[in-house]
Copies of this chain bind each other. A is one copy, B any other.
Amino acid sequence: MADYRELWESLDMDLEKHDKLCEVLPEFYGDIYLTQENRPESMNYFNFVVSEIHGLRIKELAELKDDGKKVVGSFCIFVPDEITMAAGAVGIGLCGGSDFWIPDGEKYLPRNMCPLIKASVGAKTSGTCPYFQSADLLVGETTCDGKKKAWEILEEHVPMHVMDLPQMKRKKDKDAWTDEMKIYKDEVEKLTGEEVTKEKLDESIKLVNKKRKVLQRLYNARKSLNLPISGKDALLITQISFYDDTERFIEKTTEVCEELERRIEEGVNVFKEDTPRILITGTPMAVPNWKIHHLIESNGGAVVCEETCTGSRVLEGLVDENRETLDGQMEALSERYLGINCACFTPNEGRIDDIVRLYKEYNADGVIYNSLSFCHTYAVEYKKVKEALEKEGIPVMMIESDYSLQDAGQITTRLEAFFEMIENNKSKEEVATTK
């Protein structure tokens, strides 16, 4: 990474502590990512992005801020980027994915809470995340108890706006969510001094849809029986989609898609034949949380899809581009976002349909239900998902875990047994078919 100390200083960061974080990441990334064999060449851009993770993009943000732009940080895919952009602001995803921030988070939050929330609060309060330091406004939402109450703590450190997400999906809830969209629009307009017009929103809706489409194209390549990309690499691209410049991200990911499609034609497979294909479902994985993917792919499995907020939920479903009024656009946004099947809703039957559908679309052999520790909504919803998958004859395994590597050995043992079971099932099926 180039020298950004002056930039970081200007962001009021704790440089000494930040140095410690910067020391760890390159080796961590090297071990997990650079040791992979036969990676697509077009991943080089994303290697570069990680190598400059607290540098180049932060510099870009600083330059945008110098030009009068505002930066809006968010923590959840329910916050509509389209509105942020249409008001002339830059939206960035801020969820904390590193163990590094947990101790600082625990100064403000109970220990027995989701690591993502603790890390997010720790990232801000420790002054070691330049993205947090660049944000002029944070936008929270009421998707879970932990986050809902954590905003009250973050608010003591940085201006916050909270969107009240309904807990159900009735007609009245869609209206309520449209209303929250409008309140958010007013808020971000106040921040930037720019009005959200129908034209600007048209533009941003199309741009964000374009980003979704390129991610859909990327995911489509993972349906191939010869996997042209690892799950880890696909996850990284999705993670980077949260804070990279949108146009550049689309361009660079298009290059990946082109390479993957060539690879599919050429029959390139980054895994051994017959590697169990895993669909992951559950809680989000924020940078640099690559734990479960790494454990799966280092122990004989391949991740083919994620039914998560850093996976299918962020890329499926486009916003209708054909509304004729600003109100109509707000409704279209509300519809698309309320179509996300997060476990925060009750009931949430749509998620089960999604998992079964994705399992089939991605030719998966098994499902790993991954829940961050102490995430009540996903942990409780496991029972219904498990029952539905078992009814379909789909193997499923639950992993509840935080960011630490203490349970890596135990998870590995369970994964090995799960993959063995899947392989046995497949051989039995083959015998049955050839008989």
Interface size class of A (residues with CB under 8 A): 35 or more
In the complex, the answer to whether A380 meets B162 with C-beta atoms within 8 Å is no
CB-contacts of A154-178 with B (<8 A): 162, 164, 166-168, 172-173, 176
Please name the residue on chain B nearest to A384 by beta carbon: B152
Binding site for B on A (CB under 8 A): 108-110, 112-113, 142, 144-146, 148-153, 162, 164, 166-168, 172-173, 176, 179, 343-344, 346-348, 373-374, 376-377, 379-384, 400
In the complex, the answer to whether B379 meets A110 with C-beta atoms within 8 Å is yes
In the complex, the answer to whether A164 meets B168 with C-beta atoms within 8 Å is yes
In the complex, the answer to whether B173 meets A380 with C-beta atoms within 8 Å is no
A388 → B minimal CB distance (Å): 12
Complex-state Cα separation, A146 to B176, whole angstroms: 23
Complex-state Cα separation, A110 to B381, whole angstroms: 10
Please name the residue on chain B nearest to A149 by beta carbon: B380
Complex-state Cα separation, A142 to B148, whole angstroms: 13
In the complex, the answer to whether A173 meets B164 with C-beta atoms within 8 Å is yes
Residue in A112, A167, A377 whose Cβ sees the most chain B Cβ within 10 Å: A167
A184 → B minimal CB distance (Å): 14
Report B-chain residues with C-beta under 8 Å of the C-beta of A376: 110, 113, 144-146, 149, 374, 376
In the complex, the answer to whether A167 meets B146 with C-beta atoms within 8 Å is no
Residue in A173, A343, A376, A382 whose Cβ sees the most chain B Cβ within 10 Å: A376
Contacts A168-B164, A173-B164 given; does A374 touch B145 at CB 8 Å:
no
A242 → B minimal CB distance (Å): 24
Complex-state Cα separation, A145 to B348, whole angstroms: 13
Name A144's contact: one of B145, B164, B168 (CB within 8 Å).
Answer: B145
Complex-state Cα separation, A260 to B162, whole angstroms: 47
A69 → B minimal CB distance (Å): 29
Report B-chain residues with C-beta under 8 Å of the C-beta of A108: 383
Report B-chain residues with C-beta under 8 Å of the C-beta of A343: 149
Contacts A145-B144, A164-B167, A166-B164 given; does A152 touch B112 at CB 8 Å:
no
Please name the residue on chain B nearest to A144 by beta carbon: B145
Complex-state Cα separation, A304 to B152, whole angstroms: 30
Residue in A346, A373, A380, A382 whose Cβ sees the most chain B Cβ within 10 Å: A380
A67 → B minimal CB distance (Å): 34
Please name the residue on chain B nearest to A112 by beta carbon: B374
A117 → B minimal CB distance (Å): 9
Complex-state Cα separation, A228 to B172, whole angstroms: 50
Complex-state Cα separation, A112 to B114, whole angstroms: 12
Name A346's contact: one of B142, B176, B382 (CB within 8 Å).
Answer: B142
Contacts A164-B167, A164-B168, A172-B179 given; does A149 touch B110 at CB 8 Å:
no
Contacts A145-B145, A149-B377, A377-B148 given; does A162 touch B346 at CB 8 Å:
yes
In the complex, the answer to whether A153 meets B383 with C-beta atoms within 8 Å is yes
Report B-chain residues with C-beta under 8 Å of the C-beta of A144: 145, 376
A-B contact pairs, 30 of them (CB 8 A): A108-B383, A109-B380, A110-B379, A110-B380, A112-B112, A112-B374, A113-B379, A142-B167, A142-B346, A145-B377, A146-B376, A146-B380, A148-B167, A148-B346, A149-B343, A149-B380, A149-B381, A151-B346, A152-B348, A152-B381, A152-B384, A153-B380, A153-B384, A162-B168, A162-B346, A164-B167, A164-B168, A172-B176, A172-B179, A376-B376
A376 → B minimal CB distance (Å): 4
Complex-state Cα separation, A376 to B147, whole angstroms: 9
Complex-state Cα separation, A142 to B168, whole angstroms: 9
Complex-state Cα separation, A264 to B176, whole angstroms: 52
Complex-state Cα separation, A4 to B110, whole angstroms: 45
Complex-state Cα separation, A163 to B109, whole angstroms: 29
Report B-chain residues with C-beta under 8 Å of the C-beta of A145: 144-145, 344, 376-377, 380
Complex-state Cα separation, A343 to B166, whole angstroms: 17
Complex-state Cα separation, A377 to B379, whole angstroms: 17
Report B-chain residues with C-beta under 8 Å of the C-beta of A373: 112
Report B-chain residues with C-beta under 8 Å of the C-beta of A348: 152
Please name the residue on chain B nearest to A381 by beta carbon: B149
Report B-chain residues with C-beta under 8 Å of the C-beta of A179: 172
